[in-house]
Structure 1
Amino acid sequence: MNPAWPRAAQAAEAGLFEETLSCEAVLPACFIPDGGHGRLPQAETLLRGLAQVEDLRSDETGEEKRGELPLLAQRMDAKLDLMLVLLGRLVRQSERPLPPRPLRWSARGLRLRLDADTAAPATDTAGTLRLQPSDWLPDELELPAIVAASAAEAGGHWLWLRFPALPAGLEEALERHLFRMHRRQVADARRR
């Protein structure tokens, strides 16, 4: 926690991240102050689908699971991977992409770094958080969020966004996604 942050920002940091799993990352994300409700069923479906795909790709035992598949299935899997990457590129070309931003994320909310030219919304402003949870899949989560605090820093500012009560299934899918992100970050750090 940065001691230079105002007291409200420090309280928001503690409320969102103390005694819960959180991950720091740079992901395409933005906050739209609009009082929106997000797309909760679609967010849960996206996170559950992402988990299923990543389960198939994981190598928890240290063995590559693709090596266990028949050759034809491996080829189909590789083609599907290629098609998803190409589809993602096409979607990104047709839409204005979300800017990659440093963030810290938990099931309670997140801290999002904004550029200096992006105005920080007032505390208690309701809006929609748009976030691309995976670099290989161009789909985005849209979650309702409320500004808990903001703090200016050199070259920009931080925005603390708290999620209102989410449906139990979405909260579980979000916690599972964050656990997987955390596990990947720990594994990457060990490899270095």
Structure 2
Amino acid sequence: MVAQVPVLDHPAEAELFADVLTCEAWLPAGWRGGDRQLPPQAGEALLRSIATAEDARSSDEGDERNELPQAFQRLEAKVDLMLNLIGRLARQQADALPLRAVRWSHNGLRIDSMQAWNSHLGDAGVALIEPASWLSDHLELPARVIGELATTDGQHHLWLRFAPLSPGLAEALDRHLFRLHRKQIAEARQARQG
């Protein structure tokens, strides 16, 4: 399903999303003041692993998939079910990230919530986001608050600009966002045709 995440009239929207590849999604996401708890290399490793898994899966979805023995297809389906189950169990923990509307680019992200963020312009901390729905693991990206807005519909919007990322993490994030964008275009096309 294509995410319905609104574009808002706020200076931070233009700062983070003007003239760059942008993705909208409903993902587990959050914000925490303070320093990272994971090493900086963990985010790059997570995004590269997701890319490897999704690239392998997308190449299997062509004609080659029909050539795989049925036993391998069943095994892959069972692994998918196990990953989904483990992900659901992990999300039931008290410290699981809540599902939120997110708009993001390689510059930063906007997270929408029904609760106030209690942050201030310039606050430094960590943007937390689960980049893949099938994997209950999250990225920690250093960020700074560049905007906050409460709208009349009860939503609280928080704009976060990423701190300079290492070249490897920046490249892995760009690749991940490109993959999400391509997937959203394909889903929108299917929705129009179906």
* TM-score (ref. length: structure 1): 0.86
Change (3 A) 1:63 1:109: same
Distance 1:134 1:170 in 2: 16
Distance 1:186 1:46 in 2: 24
Gaps of 5+ in 2: 1-6
Residue in structure 1 matched with residue 102 of structure 2 by the alignment: 103
Name which of structure 1's ranges 88-97 and 181-190 shifts more when overlaid on structure 2.
Answer: 88-97
Report the residue type matching 2:136 in the other structure.
P
Give the SS at the match of 2:92. helix
Residue in structure 1 matched with residue 27 of structure 2 by the alignment: 27
Residue in structure 2 matched with residue 44 of structure 1 by the alignment: 44
Give the SS at the match of 1:55. helix
Residue in structure 2 matched with residue 14 of structure 1 by the alignment: 14
Residue in structure 2 matched with residue 119 of structure 1 by the alignment: 117
Q: Do the aligned partners of 1:147 and 1:160 also contact (CA within 8 Å) in 2?
A: yes
Map Cα deviations across residues 61-102 of structure 1 (whole Å, 9 max, x no partner): x73543232333323322221221222223223443211111
Structure 1 runs of 4+ aligned residues shifted over 6 Å read none
Report the residue type matching 1:136 in the other structure.
W
Distance 1:118 1:39 in 2: 29
Report deviation, 1:178: 0.4
Distance 1:2 1:13 in 2: 7
Report deviation, 1:13: 1.6
Distance 1:164 1:110 in 2: 12
Distance 1:171 1:91 in 2: 27
Q: Do the aligned partners of 1:38 and 1:144 also contact (CA within 8 Å) in 2?
A: no
Change (3 A) 1:36 1:19: same
Gaps of 5+ in 1: none
Matches within 5 A, 1:51-130: 51-58=51-58, 63=62, 65-115=64-114, 117-130=115-128
Report the residue type matching 2:156 in the other structure.
H
**Percentage identity across paired residues of the two chains:** 46
Change (3 A) 1:142 1:65: farther
Distance 1:85 1:65 in 2: 24
Residue in structure 1 matched with residue 189 of structure 2 by the alignment: 190
Residue in structure 1 matched with residue 167 of structure 2 by the alignment: 168
Report deviation, 1:191: 0.7
Change (3 A) 1:147 1:182: same
1:150 aligned to 148, 151, 158, which one?
Answer: 148
Over aligned residue pairs, what C-alpha RMSD do you find?
2.0
Name which of structure 1's ranges 84-93 and 63-72 shifts more when overlaid on structure 2.
Answer: 63-72
Report deviation, 1:52: 0.8
Report the residue type matching 1:140 in the other structure.
H
* TM-score (ref. length: structure 2): 0.86
Give the SS at the match of 2:149. strand
Residue in structure 2 matched with residue 132 of structure 1 by the alignment: 130
Map Cα deviations across residues 10-30 of structure 1 (whole Å, 9 max, x no partner): 1x2222111211101111101
Q: Do the aligned partners of 1:37 and 1:127 also contact (CA within 8 Å) in 2?
A: no
